[in-house]
Structure 1
Amino acid sequence: MASKAYLPAGTITAEWRDFLALTKPRVMTLVVFTGLCGLLAAPQSIHPVLGFTTVLCIALGAGAAGALNQWYEADIDAVMRRTAGRPLPAGRMDRQSALHFGVGLGAFSVILLGLAVNLLSAAILAASILFYVLIYTVWLKRRTPQNIVIGGAAGAFPPLIGWAAATGRIEVLPVLLFALVFLWTPPHFWSLSLFVRSDYAAAGVPMMSVVAGPKATRTQVFLYTLPMVAVAMAPWALGLTGAIYGVSALGLNAIFLLFAAQVAVSREIDPAAMKVERRLFAYSILYLFALFGVLVADRMIG
């Protein structure tokens, strides 16, 4: 059956909601939040207008990466249940429109950030977009079960961008925040992949749960949680944050470790019954929001 994803150029039936859907707004929310926290946690303040511009450009850059990802993966999205309703596989938009939208949005976000704020933050934003599109989407995702491990760097750039926008430099704390998101990505996505394994298998994506199986994936979820916890605690251990962050991070990480351990020992094979896997996936999102939130509170109060 021919996919609707390959409408001829110019056959546009898309509405503004479809262009918004291309940007993956739910994913963008977490990206923008970590970028904002990197901005607010920086030791130097930034003019509110420039701060707003920075956050806007991070959002636009993330949206551009999402749009280009969907442009390239229209064939995969068409055979996965959770993505079949997206604008391209659903036939509401032609691929050329998605490509032009993604490229234009990405170029605009980088140029605006460079002209309005500084070149360092713009360069990091450009690197994040290119990394997500070229390294993760084009090169890694269809070739290796390590796609999420290496590709996780793409979503880890926003704190660096926010910090660089405020200070014009890169320091130890934003690098630790980068490493935290980088190490958080495998347990976050692999817990998801366990209960949507059939989707990835149908699409031919060599996700860890498909290639190595659920048992090995559950072990990897727990093993990657260990260095993630260590990096999450490092800002407090190095004296870069105070007790508000330290105590909060201790509690948040303890819960994450508990849930990851439950996933590691689970032997459930029915995706519909994978409660601990779904719980870890949901908690991992809350975890990152909470951890970055208390970081900002700690830095502001401290």
Structure 2
Amino acid sequence: MRSYMPPVSAVHDEARGTRRRRRDVLLAYVALTKPRIIELLLVTTVPAMMLAERGIPSPWLVFATLFGGTLAAGSANALNCVADADIDAVMKRTSARPLPRHQVPPRNALVFGVVLGVLSFAWLWPTTNLLAACLSVAAILFYVLIYTMVLKRRTAQNIVWGGAAGCMPVVIGWSAVTGSIEWPALVMFGVIFFWTPPHFWALAMKFKDDYARAGVPMLPVVTTADRVARQIVTYSWVMVLWTLLLVPAAGWVYAAFAVGVGVWFLAVAHRLYAAIRRGEPGKPMKLFHMSNTYLTLVFVALAVDSAISLPTVF
């Protein structure tokens, strides 16, 4: 009796289906790390390292810091997805994430996030230094335990204090080069700290109903659009003025860009506030998207200045 042999095309189709499923699973795990957020964090790390070095650091040190930082950020974001799975499931903006779509079991996502965090510490300690490794762990714990599990669901100021975790890459980058934390690192921390509320509140204005449905007390959910816009303008002014504190450690290129793009940011923030005062919805997403460009330009200018200029005071 001849044994049945499936058609070659059927075998190929099954193999392609297996590869597709494996690829989908891999992409789901990558999505847990929120790569687009990581990109923005890494954009600020390299300029911080260049300022600390007053030039171009060792390529190996840059790679080691960025790789370790990617693992740490991926860990925090994956653990955030686990803790926020119930919120993500009811928000249109986040309902396509892997956990709401059941692409990754919650237990697997939890293990994945913890493993990434352990690997970040195990990588950064020998390749950079213990301080940088400890700061990466502190950023993970603060983001997950303080922001995600405590502040996010309890206070309208959640993003103000919780955003501190997103400021840590510049401090980690600085410490990877110097083995210490000095005042320029703290100023860079402050730039991102004051940038975070206008950035996220603009997004929350657009997705106010999403946050309300999920029971997250983002500022646009619990107060008027007028007050939110005033807060955005206030933080924007503080942020732009704060960037000028780095001028003594940098030079004319950074100073020119900090002033120029700062005026641009303030103009967009004031335009949003003026529109809302007139009873119009304004364009909060314009501010949200340009805030990414703003932060990138400020730190790119810092990198260029660090590479070509001598500090005036340090």
Q: TM-score with structure 2 length normalisation?
A: 0.88
Distance 1:56 1:116 in 2: 10
> Is residue 29 of structure 1 aligned with residue 39 of structure 2?
yes
In structure 1, the residue matched to 2:176 is 165
Where in structure 2 are the equivalents of 1:220-235 lying within 5 Å? Answer: 220-235=231-246
In structure 2, the residue matched to 1:262 is 271
User: Rg bigger for which structure?
Assistant: 2
**CA shift for structure 1 position 40:** 2.0
Do the aligned residues in 2 keep the contact of 1:268 with 1:274 (CA within 8 Å)?
no
In structure 2, the residue matched to 1:136 is 147
Do the aligned residues in 2 keep the contact of 1:53 with 1:113 (CA within 8 Å)?
yes
For residue 207 of structure 2, the aligned residue among 196, 201, 213 is: 196
Do the aligned residues in 2 keep the contact of 1:221 with 1:260 (CA within 8 Å)?
yes
For residue 147 of structure 1, the aligned residue among 140, 158, 161 is: 158
**CA shift for structure 1 position 265:** 2.0
How many residues get paired? 287
Do the aligned residues in 2 keep the contact of 1:14 with 1:87 (CA within 8 Å)?
no
In structure 2, the residue matched to 1:244 is 253
Deviations 1:147-167 (A, max 9, x none): 000011000000110110011
Deviations 1:207-258 (A, max 9, x none): 000011212111111111111111111111xx21111000111110001111
Where in structure 2 are the equivalents of 1:107-146 lying within 5 Å? Answer: 107-146=118-157
In structure 2, the residue matched to 1:40 is 50
Distance 2:238 2:270 in 1: 14
Partner SS state of residue 180, structure 2:
coil
Do the aligned residues in 1 keep the contact of 2:167 with 2:193 (CA within 8 Å)?
yes
Do the aligned residues in 1 keep the contact of 2:51 with 2:250 (CA within 8 Å)?
no
Partner SS state of residue 284, structure 1:
helix
Which amino acid counterpart does residue 118 of structure 2 have in structure 1?
A
Q: List runs of 5+ in structure 2 lacking aligned partners.
A: 1-21, 310-314
Distance 1:38 1:235 in 2: 11
Deviations 1:114-167 (A, max 9, x none): 122101111111111111111100110000000000011000000110110011
Do the aligned residues in 2 keep the contact of 1:35 with 1:158 (CA within 8 Å)?
yes
CA 88–194 in structure 1, closer or farther in 2 if over 3 Å, else same: same
Percent identity (aligned): 41
Distance 1:153 1:81 in 2: 26
Distance 1:261 1:55 in 2: 35
Which amino acid counterpart does residue 240 of structure 1 have in structure 2?
A
In structure 1, the residue matched to 2:61 is 50
Q: TM-score with structure 1 length normalisation?
A: 0.91
Do the aligned residues in 2 keep the contact of 1:13 with 1:92 (CA within 8 Å)?
no
Q: List runs of 5+ in structure 1 lacking aligned partners.
A: 1-11
Stretch deviating more after TM superposition (151-160 or 47-56): 47-56
Distance 1:32 1:274 in 2: 33
Which amino acid counterpart does residue 139 of structure 1 have in structure 2?
V
In structure 2, the residue matched to 1:283 is 290
Distance 2:276 2:304 in 1: 40
Which amino acid counterpart does residue 241 of structure 1 have in structure 2?
A
